[in-house]
Amino acid sequence: MFKYLLLLTSILFLVTALPQLATPLDLLTSKMSSADEANLPSMHPAAYYKYAKQLFNEGRKDDAVFWFYVGQLRYRFFLTANPTIAEARYQAPFSALNATIGEEINEYAGGNTTTWVAAIDRALAWDLTSPNYFTSKEHFHKEYIAIRNGLVELKKFIQSHAQEIKAQRAKSGLPNR
């Protein structure tokens, strides 16, 4: 219950940061289309989380993992590039999105470390070749590289600990695929 209250609070807060969505109800109920997917590079990074959650709910779980990591990469980059406003206004929603949407998607992703790593690789490749109109990769190049390197390190950790992850999931009663 707390997770959903936290998510709802974050969504209400994010409406001010997402001008392309008019009301909290739109954020909760509107579906993103392929046209919206094409416009993601212009949107606030929280939109990637919304899209990932939608795909997850539609059963497109591996695509959801990919978009989640694109969203996490871009949101972390935005926060790092804008530390003054980030702490005051955007850190709490980011944390809430990771604690709710991220938890569910990561729980699924961890069930198959091979596809998890593939989704991270795909996210890194997409991010590298796709524009980011929300936070300039060129202007904040040092921050951009640092955030990308963090995701690369996560990928390496998953690869080097795949058997341990699988064993821990089995011990915790979580499925491995």
154 lies in a domain? yes
Reported as a single tens digit per residue, the pLDDT across 23-62 is 333 444 568 877 788 999 999 999 999 999 999 999 999 9
How far is 7 from 28, CA to CA, in rounded Å? 10
Q: Do residues 77 and 140 lie in contact, with contact meaning Cβ atoms separated by under 8 Å?
A: yes
pLDDT of residue 64: 98
30 lies in a domain? no
Does pTM surpass 0.95?
no
- CA 68 vs CA 54, 64, 101: distances in Å: 11, 6, 8
33 lies in a domain? no
| Number of domains making up the chain | 1
pLDDT of residue 59: 97
Flag residues of the chain having pLDDT under 50.
2, 4-28
pLDDT of residue 16: 42
138 lies in a domain? yes
pLDDT of residue 85: 83
pLDDT of residue 94: 93
159 lies in a domain? yes
65 lies in a domain? yes
9 lies in a domain? yes
144 lies in a domain? yes
pLDDT of residue 8: 41
Q: Do residues 14 and 93 lie in contact, with contact meaning Cβ atoms separated by under 8 Å?
A: yes
Structural domain that includes position 59: 2-22+39-171
pLDDT of residue 84: 87
pLDDT of residue 29: 53
